[in-house]
Structure 1
Amino acid sequence: MAHGPDDAKSTGSADEADLLRFGYQETMERRTSRFASFAVAFAFVSIATGIFTTYGSTLRSSGPVGIWTWPIVVVGQLAVALVFGTLAARIPVTGYVYQWTSRLAHPGLGWILGWLSFTFLAIAAVAVDYTVASTVLPALLGYGETAGNAWAVTAGMLFLQALLVAYSTKWSERVNNTAVIAELVGMGALVVLLLVVGAFRSDLSAGNLFSTGSVPAEDYFGFGGLTHTGPWVLGFLLGAFTIVGFESACNLAEETRDPETVVPRAMWKAVVASGVLGFLFLLAVTMAAGDPVAPASATPVADVIQRVLGSVAGNLLLSLVAVSIFACGLVIMMTGVRLIWAMSRDERFPGWRAWRKVDASTGTPRNATFFLLIVTEAILAVFANQTDALLNLSSAGTLLPAIIYTAVVVLYLVRRRRLPAGHGFSLGRFETPVAVVALVWLAFELSIFRDSSFAEPWIYVCVMTAGGALYLGWLLWRRGLHGLAMPDMHSIDAGFKAGPDNRDGGTA
């Protein structure tokens, strides 16, 4: 059925009324469509980014057979996305984790999780751009794979992404939408071409899919010990690093039309699409990888593509991958800026007076964008000279969301019976089983990080948490507990008294 201007106007009025019930005036323009919301979630997940970042380390730690952990991760993260969907349908406000936990548990806990989300987004932006600078562009442009080159290229990409986010949400979304289409087409083409050309040239080996490569087969499937993790278990980090960030769609809730319906569906569809396409790509790359025992290069995926498809076709497809990874960093930057702005709107973020402003000419939180740019450049300066910078960045970018997701799912299980019924998305009788699956998966994922090789990511988490705790303590000292109360905190249910039957659109 076609929708005319009156339908759009009534939907916009209903969205604005919902936001008022949570204590906020409409500030951002609601321009994000269904596809744009999906594109934001899909771009953050970005299978191109995740696989190009971690495939080499997976070969070294788990061998080719480690890719079979991917479907398990997809099921676990899909369960998390569904839980997040139920919360997004109930509290469709920018700030996602910060808003949800502040209103459902305590503003202090919400602040800590909001701060951890900020630290995750800041380091994830660096990790993503460092990926394209160190694993894709060297093969595409032919420059040396040195720490200095990766640093310079990453710094430039962060600056370009910040300019887009600061000056035009419209163009940021257009770039991202185009990049997502390119990623879907490009990754699909890569799968088909690698399989067809590889089979024609007899370059495919199904045996690779079940080889441990250079990893010893003894105790391969063991869980590990107190301070070390078994080889196959480490393979779960391939999917765990990649299938994250789907919740980015929640952080554009106040810019999305009918967010209670659109955002939850954008998240689970992004996980499913990424999971299926990503696994097909892993199968194709692994079968075409050649000798499974040979040491993995710094750019194994790019090497396979160029060897099998040749330089011309390989470079064309690598260019599409580079665009996809750039879009992933762009979406992370956009998501982080919205979180800073949301916390600053509530006078909670350090320097909030400057970051809560929305520029009248661009309609964007421009100050918050340049602040995040400075933070990401500082993180890059700390990590970039390390020989294992990409591993540490990706590990921290996997650990932080696992902690955040676990806290939110636990809170959901504890408080779900006190939540109002969602009118845009609901799990119905599957609510408890899905949440339990999510919690079991997250507990297992966190157990992987007991390995001593993840000491530096834990240090980063602890340092950032301690810094946040100090600022929270200062806020409590200055304002007291009452000073952290959320707008319209007294009644979440009041926002839903109208019910689905009294809203335009209803439950889709």
Structure 2
Amino acid sequence: MSDAPNRGHLSDNEHLAVLGYEDKFDRSMSLWANFALGFTYLSPLVGVYSLFAVALSTGGPPSIWWIVIVACGQLLVSLVFGEVVSQYPIHGGVYPWARRLWGRRYAWMAAWVYIWAMIVTITSVAEFGAGFVTALFGIELTRESTLITALALLLIALAINFTGTKWLARIARLGLFAELIGVIGIGLYLLIFQRKHDFSVFFDSMGVAGDGSYLPAFIASALAGLFLFYGFEACGDVAEEVSDPARRIPRAMIMTIVVGAVSALFSFGGYVLAAPNLQEIVAGEVGDPIPAILTATLGEVGAKIFLVVAILAFISCVLSLQAAASRLLYSFARDGMLPGHTWLSHVSERSKVPTNALIIACTVPALICVLIYFNDGILVAVTSFAILGIYLSFQMVVFAALRQRLRGWKPAGPFSLGAVGIIVNVLAFAYGIFAIVLLATPGSSGSFFTDYIVLIGLAVVLVTGLVYLFSARPDAKSNAPQGDAKETADEIRRRTGRVALR
């Protein structure tokens, strides 16, 4: 990896002009604020808490190794994204990257799937966060309290996002602090002072496979890692609000993966080693084990303090998700690719944020929360669809980048992998296919709807997207540039006086 010297790097305004856009946003987001945005979206605290019981009851303590496996795979993806965003530091992330690497129709489908996956993710995080809020205030966790709390989290995040990029960055940094305390701090405390098991337990399946092979059980527990490591792409969704984004965003994405992996390992490992009833958790006899572990190790007061930290992390996570989704919607609408695109692409003169897109990023998740209120059994399916949809969108970008490389594209941003770029790209694509296969494999409960709900959801999104794409032809109404990766790279090199890597 290398950064080009300053003299060979375009200014932010010049770079945006080469890409065909005007600078309309407040570039007040620093490297650390951008990293905080991605990290609080990725949110190890949310991921570990949400899937700890499921992972242990499915694959036992060795399921922790999925955190390492997926982190390595997603690091490869983040390196590919880093080269793309370094050449194309524009709002929207996956959508403009896919469009400039391939074409408008291809990008439309990638963004359509990604938008729905992000909106569903916002819903899931708000729903999971309700458990922390009700526990803090001693409220019984019912359908009604879950709905009210989830809607409150969505509205609080919307209000903060409305104030502008500076407050988004401040709350993201606060969320980062809360996450680090909640995952690394608590994890280290449990590992050092409350350990009740040997480290060898991470190689002990504790009977989850019965008398058969352990491999199927281990593969079934992959969700423990797959749910954790996305969110780093949000660093690129707000590219036009970051100072020197072509350099800083790739670094922020890599930092998000690395720090997220370390945090998740400390957190997951700490809970396993400190669990006084680990065998019962693995046997599936404890539905929500983390509160009991915290109360047993931290006491009532300590557990309450943790809940406050966790709620801050959840608010920051919803905030980051809303911000990323709104910038994607804005980028999509700015190119005339959505119904109501003029309204959706409005940017507030006062706060310099796409307020109408933010409203959509709050309202649609709120409506899904209402649906979950009437059928809370769909929450797990909703979460699983979100993960599959995001992985599919990611791989559409990775595949498009690989296609361009084979056609002669050499990324021209200041962040470059050089000659190893093609190798990283191939490995990232192979990992992504592996992850998609794991996520899309039907369950084995015997119920068709339960086992295939994730694939059914993806099919509905894909079919409706294709119907709209080929009937309304939004791509034909847009003149946004497409498939110009090689030409843009040549133009950037011409303006900066650099030559292509050989």
Same fold (TM over 0.5): yes
Q: Is the 8 A contact 1:51 1:238 kept in 2?
A: yes
- Measured after TM superposition, the shift of residue 33 of structure 1 is 0.6
Q: Pick the aligned partner of 1:82 from 79, 82, 87.
A: 79
1:483 aligns with 2:465: no
The correspondence for 2:442, drawn from 435, 451, 458, is 451
2:312 counterpart residue number: 323
- 1:472 Cα offset (Å): 1.5
Q: TM-score by structure 2 length?
A: 0.90
How far off is 1:62 after superposition?
1.8
Aligned: 1:266 with 2:252: yes
The one-letter code matched in structure 2 to 1:123 is V
Distance 1:250 1:313 in 2: 37
Residue 231 to residue 388, structure 1, CA distance change in 2 (3 Å): farther
Instruction: Compute the displacement of 1:211 (Å).
Output: 3.5
The 10-residue stretch of structure 1 (418-427 or 42-51) with the greater mean CA deviation from structure 2: 418-427
Unaligned runs of 5+ in 1: 1-7, 223-229
1:67 corresponding residue in structure 2: 64
For residue 278 of structure 2, give the secondary structure of its aligned residue in structure 1.
coil
Aligned mate of 1:235, from 218, 221, 246: 221
Q: Which position in structure 1 is the counterpart of 2:262? A: 276
The offset of 1:60, in angstroms, is: 2.3
Contact 1:139–1:302 under 8 Å retained in 2: no
CA displacement, residues 355-406 of structure 1 (integer Å, 9 cap, x when unaligned): 1111112211111111222111112122344343442232122111111122
Deviations 1:13-52 (A, max 9, x none): 8111111111111111111111111111111111001111
SS at match of 2:279: coil
Residue 430 of structure 1 corresponds to 420
Residues 433-457 of structure 1: per-residue CA shift (max 9 Å, x gap): 2222222222221122212355222
Cα distance in 1, alignment partners of residues 265 and 152 from structure 2: 31
Map 1:102-117 → 2, pairs under 5 A: 102-117=99-114
2:375 corresponds to which residue? Answer: 386
Q: Is the 8 A contact 1:95 1:342 kept in 2?
A: yes
Q: Contact 2:165/2:241 (CA < 8 Å) preserved in 1?
A: no
Q: In the aligned structure 2, how far is the partner of 1:296 from the partner of 1:415?
A: 51
1:393-443 Cα deviation digits (max 9, x unpaired) = 321221111111222212221112432433321112321222222222222
Structure 2: gaps (5+ residues): 1-5, 444-449
Q: Does 1:28 align with 2:25?
A: yes
Q: Which amino acid aligns with 1:374?
A: T
Q: Secondary structure at the residue paired with 2:238?
A: helix
2:482, 2:380 → 1: CA distance? Answer: 43
1:489/1:451 CA distance change after superposition, 3 Å? closer
Q: How far does residue 253 in structure 1 lie from its aligned partner after superposition?
A: 0.8
* Cα shift readout 1:104-158 (whole Å, capped 9, x = no counterpart): 2120010111111111110011111111113x33433332232322122111111
For structure 1, which segment, 296-305 or 355-364, has the greater mean C-alpha deviation from structure 2 after superposition? 296-305
Structure-2 separation of matches of 1:185 and 1:11: 40
SS in structure 2 at match of 1:430: helix
- Separation (CA, whole Å) in 1 of partners of 2:262 and 2:213: 26
1:244 aligns with 2:230: yes
In 2, the alpha carbon distance for the partners of 1:388 and 1:214 equals 28
Q: Select which of 301, 305, 327 maps to 1:312.
A: 301
Shift of 1:296: 4.7
Percent identity among equivalent residues? Answer: 24
Task: Tell me whether 1:365 sits opposite 2:359 in the alignment.
Answer: no
RMSD: 2.5
After the TM superposition, which of the residue ranges 68-77 and 309-318 deviates more from structure 2? 309-318
After superposition, the Cα gap between the structure-2 partners of 1:443 and 1:265, relative to the gap in structure 1 and judged at 3 Å, is same
2:75, 2:10 → 1: CA distance? 32
Question: TM-score, normalised on structure 1?
Answer: 0.89
Count matched residues. 482
**Alignment of structure 1 residues 63-462 onto 2, 5 Å:** 63-134=60-131, 136-199=132-195, 203-206=196-199, 208-213=201-206, 215-222=208-215, 230-294=216-280, 295-417=284-406, 418-448=408-438, 449-452=440-443, 453-462=450-459
Partner of 1:226: none
* Equivalent residue number for residue 225 of structure 1: none
Measure how far apart 1:464 and its partner are.
2.1
Q: Distance in 2 between matches of 1:501 and 1:357?
A: 31
